[in-house]
Amino acid sequence: MQITKTIYVQAVKYSFEKAFKIQANGYKEVTGDHGVAIDICEKVVTIDIPDFDVDNITELHVEQLQKRLVIAKADTHILLTRMQQEIDDLLAIENK
């Protein structure tokens, strides 16, 4: 599937801002009470969107979350071990 869109590149400064910033949007800003928009260029782009299976996307997302969970558990275990070691060290100093 292909999607064709026009991208508008503009220098935009809203009334509450001190400087212009460059924006690339799928819509065209207009000058008005809210600020100033200066056109830089317009570009028509065509994006090829691959066919995908929604079930496969869900499985991939779950796999990524499971990997992140393993890392988070390991990081948490390291943090807890360090904290317990610090507590043990402090208690050992007091008991000397």
Segment 63-94, tens digit of pLDDT: 999 999 999 999 999 999 999 999 999 998 87
Number of C-alpha atoms within 13 angstroms, CB side, residue 45? 12
Segment 44-62, tens digit of pLDDT: 999 998 877 767 788 888 9
Please determine, for residue 31, whether its predicted confidence score (pLDDT) is greater than 90. yes
Q: Distance from CA of residue 46 to its chain's centroid?
A: 23
Mean pLDDT of 4-27: 95
pTM above 0.85, yes or no: no
Residue spans of the domains in the chain: they are 2-48, 52-96
DSSP string covering the chain: -EEEEEEEEEEEEETT-SS-EEEEESS----BTTEEEEEEEEEEEEEEPPP--HHHHHHHHHHHHHHHHHHHHHHHHHHHHHHHHHHHHHHHHHT-
